[in-house]
Structure 1
Amino acid sequence: MVAMTSSGTVSTGLIDSKPIFFIKLALLLLVFLQLQPKIIPTVQAATLLPKNEVDALREIAEELNKKDWNFSDPCNNVPTVETPHTDQYNDTVTCNCSANRCNINGIFLMGQDLDGVLPPSLAKLPYLRQVNLGQNILNGSIPPEWASMKLEFLVLSVNNLSGPIPAYLGNMTSLTALALESNLFSGSIPPEFGNLVNLETLFLSANNLTGELPATFTNLTKLQTLRISSNNFTGKIPDFFHKFKLLQILEMQSSGFEGPIPSSLSALDKLTNLRISDLNGGVSDFPDIKNMESMEILMLKSCNIRGRIPEYISTLTNLRILDLSFNRLEGNIPNFGDLFRLSTIYLTSNKLTGLTPEWMIKERDDRYVIDLSYNNFSKNNLQPPTCRESLNLYRSFSIQNKSVLSDCLSPCSKDKYSLHINCGGKQIIIGNTKYEGDEDVGSAAKLFYNNTANWGFSNTGHFWDIQSGQDKYITKNVSILRMNNSGLYTTARLAPLSLTYFARCLANGNYTVKLHFAEIVFRDNISYYSVGRRMFDVYIQGKLELKDFNIEKEAGGVDKEVILIRKAVVNDKTLEIRFQWTGKGTTNAPRRGTYGSLISAISVESDFKPPAESKRKLYVAVGVVLVLCIVTSIILGILWWRGCFGGKESREQVLGGLDLKTGVFTFKQIKAATNNFDSGNKLGEGGFGSVYKGVLLDGTCIAVKQLSARSKQGNREFLNELGMISALEHPNLVKLHGRCTEGKQLVLVYEYMDNNSLAHSLFGQEKGGPSKLDWPTRQKICVGIAKGLTFLHEESAFKVVHRDIKASNILLDRDLNPKISDFGLAKLDEEENSHITTRVAGTIGYMAPEYALWGYLTDKADVYSFGVVALELVTGKSNMKFHPNENYVCLLDWALVSQQKGNLMELVDPRLGSEFNKEEAIRMIKIALLCHNPSPALRPTMSSVVSMLEGRSTVHELIMDPSIYGDKLRFEALRNQFNSFTTDTSSVN
């Protein structure tokens, strides 16, 4: 077949072995090959070319804004001056001449930075058959005058053309090749496209096309090459590809379609190049491609493919490149050792297990590229003891067997507290900060490590559609940079698929991460170098921080810096920052292979002081803190006594001096908002007050919590909650608007939650029909609660233990997003002072045993409570009210028995019917049981809970003896003991 390249030139693509193919190829090359464009060159062209065609050329030049045409000899207009980009430059008019006459049949104006519009005057050239206006900056849309033309070859790629693809394009039925990629076309593909029945090559990638492919697409039965990547199509991949019997190249990367991959794909037995990636939703089984014996390139990346890799892949003897990365593939890797043409294998980020195959370890040398990073393999004795070029095993082994990093990286000698990397560049000093050099050239499956500074990177992927060996993983600026600290931006590291920078030997704790970006490849001048669009995702510690990040857009132009600051928590002495290209943006502007993520520099600084520095100030700091605490306690005690018990100085005067970040309401405002605390507005009632719905004069809904000023406990709750929540802000924590402390009134004003509490939504309809909480909502709520607790425990300025996590303290907003409320019992987590010697507080059924029995309080008490709530979410039953028979003491008891019976599915709320994700439900139950480990030290952290809930890390099942909860008498004794010194704060916040 003959396929157009990005610039519209003709490429042989992947060669068919049949002799007739080469005959056709030779004939077509004579027609299309742009290196020798004149079909019948003649010196008499100027005199033989009709005047009307010369006049049409003048109009075309004006419309294109082309100023350098030689109209006296247009058929011999070959450039005499070499241009900066000769590989894509063409300035040619081809003519077909007979004995006494010439006619223009081809116009090739590539890479000339023409900034006009598509010329309507092309229609005045009746013999024109081939047009290539690619690699320019033409704007506007396709002129309606073109509908009458008899074009066969039309390339408009890499321009700024916009608007919908016009329906009248379907009138150009003579077209055999059409390239519109890397423009700004929008809207859906018109049904009239189905009239282009002679099309063999169609490029529509990198536009803003939407909607579904029209049903008339099935008329394009002669298609041999179809590229529709990087668009915003909707719906599932159409199941009509079996109509394209001649199709050899199919590309649908990040097209916007949803999975699964249709079964009709199996009928395409002539495919040599199949690339599908980044499908939305829809889990797929591995597509049946056993009949595709000509397959050379197979990419099924990020397609949600589950199950095993088929054994029959080993029969595809022409296969050269296999990319199955970022799926859900599991089991062993089949033996592909006999596929000697198979030189590139990407199996990154799957769930593959077993031993790493011997044929990969022993028989393949550095000419082969194999990436197995991010999998769950078991260690193999044949595993190389050191990191090997082009065999990437970064984090490819299961947790039980540790990571390959422990074998090929030197051990940590001491903790580090900062790291600075000049990505792709030399070591440089900015101010007082030294940025480590990062000059390794990189490769398609590279694990690099700097032993001196304890950092490195793992790179996966090569740049497609360029000549072998031309991959460049480092780029340099092409113009003078004028921003501050420009030395950080003169180079950058590129990644065509996935790039992970990792820092080892960091002390555990909170860090500030700064990511430095500048777009130094694309231009914003009058050049087709300005047409490119780069988008990629950024993850920090496995969490998606930036989606479809566009440096140029974020920075407001090219060659401008943008520094993004994020917080990260280090728990295992390792920090990971990953950049991933997901198929979006242009891939051929200014030339093919220009895409992927780009990072200029990375800065990591701890949010805490190193021990050496801390020790020098320890005794002074302790003394100052003690004095301040004593003085502050005395002053606040005196003032509070006066404010609460009749003194002239109001409580608000005292609170006003504390710089609380909340508003102040008058009691008159509160009474008006709640209709004088009308019982009809009551939302709930707890041990120390009630909660009412209120509406302010501006229409804002609020929740008013009125605490009892007569109770010391109410006073304590008020101060504690006001102090805690005014200093905390997170999407999964309820927001405090303000307070009112007139006279003896203690009122807190919160944002109003439209859907009340989780307890109300989950248990309020236990006997009254189906719950309004479907499974995706329950999953979202569970993850949200976990993220809120992660913030309290690990990410906030000070570590907080909530102490009363339960369903009634989880509020739900209009969109059923969860928000943790009621911080009246919250306590700062002091690791050196974890025993409560005065008062254990919380709610029976949610309290961790070590806290209830011995007063031992850490953040793991919240983890235990979260486990109870997670079980309630799955079962739809309240832990406090669940007593089906004398065999079960509580919900957890039932879960443990079900686990031992191997029947966890019986726990799932029957109101969900079959409409739930079984994998997610089982995962949530197992995580809940992990949180209930009797030993607090063995419970997971909340950040690891989030990772497990989102499927980013493995859940290891914990089997416990149900008898620890099954002794009814001991449980009753324990309940009585709770009652003797525990306060139940079951109010709805």
Structure 2
Amino acid sequence: MSKLLSSLSPAPTGWSSGTHFCKWTNVNCDTTNSFVTGINLDSASVSGTLPPEINTLSQLKSIALQKNSLSGSLPSFENMTALEQIFLDGNGFTSVPKNFLLGLTSLQTLSMSGNYKLGPWEIPTYLTESSTLVTFNAGNASIYGVIPDIFGSFPNLQNLRLSYNNLNGSLPKSFSGSEIQNLWLNNQQEGLSGTIDVLANMAQLTQVWLQENAFSGGIPDLSKCVNLFDLQLRDNRFTGVLPPSLMSLPNLLNITLQNNKLQGPYPNFPAEVQATIGTTNSFCLQKAGPCDPQVSTLLVVAGALGYPMSLAQSWTGNRACTGWSFINCDIKGNVVVVNMGKQGFSGTISPAFANLTFMRTLMLNDNKLTGTIPGVLTTLSQLQTFDVSNNNLSGPVPVFPASVKFNNAGNVFLGQNVSDGGGTSGMPGGGSDSGSNGSGSSKGSASAGMIAGVVIAVVLFIGVLLFVMFKCCMKRRHKRFGRVEGSELGKEMVKTNVTNSVQGYAGVPSELHSNSSGDHSEIPIFEGGNVAISIQILRQVTDNFSEKNVLGRGGFGIVYKGELHDGTRIAVKRMESGVMGTKGMNEFQAEIAVLTKVRHRHLVALLGYCINGSERLLVYEYMPQGTLSQHLFEWEELGYQPLTWKQRVTIALDVGRGVEYLHSLAQQSFIHRDLKPSNILLSDDMRAKVADFGLVKHAPDGKYSLETRLAGTFGYLAPEYAATGRVTTKVDVYAFGVVLMEIITGRKVLDERMPDDRSHLVTWFRRVLINKDNLRNSMDPTLDPDDETYESICKVAELAGHCTAREPYQRPDMGHAVNILGPLVEQWKPSKPDEEESFGIDLHMSLPQALQRWQATEGTSRMFDDLSYSQTQSSIPAKPSGFVDSFSSTDCR
């Protein structure tokens, strides 16, 4: 432990060479204080390397070093037989030692995603010694080569993440029948290839991410995968007809199929399934409906050949006689010639050829076809030429009419029954050249076959019985470490720890889930910030994200309402998959770590989150009155009463205070974004809270640079942000000014129904402000103000104009805007002010005393522990240069 301490910089909080290591913060020891059993430096802001002496911690059970700046070679954990949990995500390690994971017989979780600086390494086959493995996360970790066929050795493996690596080759056969639930293999540099037929036997699957690879062939029948809810297959080389069972999977909610060459009928998914189909596939129609009979027949033929890409690229549309390669038709549009000779096709000859009743020529020569020649082809009355020469066909030889020129030369097994060719005896149509065995021989063979069959059946029965016993034993063992403890939000929410967390994308999930429809007593919890909620619970409380529970739809996802078992009402924001790439994952996790600590009565509280695959879900407090947008623009449709001016200006003040608070945290690299009425939520008493705030990092020039997503709708963006992407607090002030304009006018920021000179609210409203008399005719007619109220509206209108000034330096600070609005609300307050309204601060206190009291009231004092008094002073809004004198309110809080 001394070696570890000396190799880290700075020293982790609570670690000191003068103190026994068992007393170090986040270090656990056994009861004798002799052996270290756990080390947790998650997000500890440390750099340095890991000494090889870590290998000597013989009783270590868990080590969590994720989200730091560690570098150098990973240590070898060889033969650390007690080690169960390893978390190394989000660091800068550069190499993997040869025996990195050798002999870890108790390993349950290995999570090392996001180490993109690692040198190339392969998944070691000795990992089979870790038979208790439940989670293997190594996305963006420089893995190359094929996925080894070792997964029959992991009877408890549920989560496998190998995304964003350089894997190639096909899926291992040992996936078949495994317990894997979440399979993330997306975005390989070179691309995994081959078919995905093995998925058909992976009945436990819940989420499958295979996008951005080179998989080919048809999509298999996944009807056994009854728990599958998320299937990402876009950007591959899939061909063929979608199995009808795919459209009837009971729990499917999300599927992507774009950028493939799928064929056949256009898929018709249920309404609750979010299906992204795209326009690059080769469906016969661009809407649901049956294909032409000849098209359907030829697609069955293609299926027997494995749906070759050459056919998928050519066989598009719903007319086989229009530009389809290898196909010729008569003047009536009947297929009469199919010439597929010398194409290198593999697979079998489909009996569906018999449905092309006008066919005269069928050329299949010089390919790699196996199996039998379907006897039903002898019924083609117009057939004149049939060539299957130089293939690998076997089985009986059908007898064609003398009028048919039939060439079957070069098939050495034709007339014989061979197992590897798929040939079977008893196929219709024709006899066999090899069926002349005597009756005694036949009986002897039958007896021997029966005996062999009985022996094989007994052996299989014993094997299955032993396997079931082994599985039951392993599941009982797994239950000892799989349970989750509850939290203050009931059993649904828990605080994660190293021993029971299951990471998603570099932890997330980030992006979506580990879910099961079975017993919830062992719900996996995802690591990241403070409070994680399982995807199963979120599905349960939102009725599987039912349409009836939708609260709203935004640019980054849909928000659903739900209620936990203890009565807590929540709003679940289900962010769109793929909105944020790998680069944003670490920022998202850092955001969670901050947001779960930040509390302010004018900010919607983030209660928890879920990261599952590539999906991110945020759980907020529920605001029963909906959004300001609904009350401004949809109040008639929703049956609301129009907002009074008192309510509007009070809402504006509350929003301003929330944003002001966020700006005061700018020293902590935290700032508001995406300010618009749809992100202003209203409580029962119509008090406003701001939602959708996020993390922004410092740029070297002292400004703020947004590294994840663009904020807001174009109409709310300040000119400098719309053109250069730069973010400062003044960008929020601009958006706040736009919101004020909407509050005054009852108009949306962009209204295409209006004439061009009035469609953009900001441009039009600036012209209104030139003459004060114009304002009365431009405000929301539902306000109908008296003289006193009209003066109040004029002051807010003037503030809105200054907030939306073209140059950032001409806009006020948010604190100044709050000071303008405050007196307007005061006139409606009761004579005895509510202590909560004044934040519990005595205005006669000194500024340091007031700040300390305010921090304590808001529950954020920890956020300011490292801020000096001088830094605090800098957050007090000053009147900006260029700000006109008409604003006479005091520049102070």
Q: TM-score, normalised by structure 1?
A: 0.31
Q: TM-score, normalised by structure 2?
A: 0.34
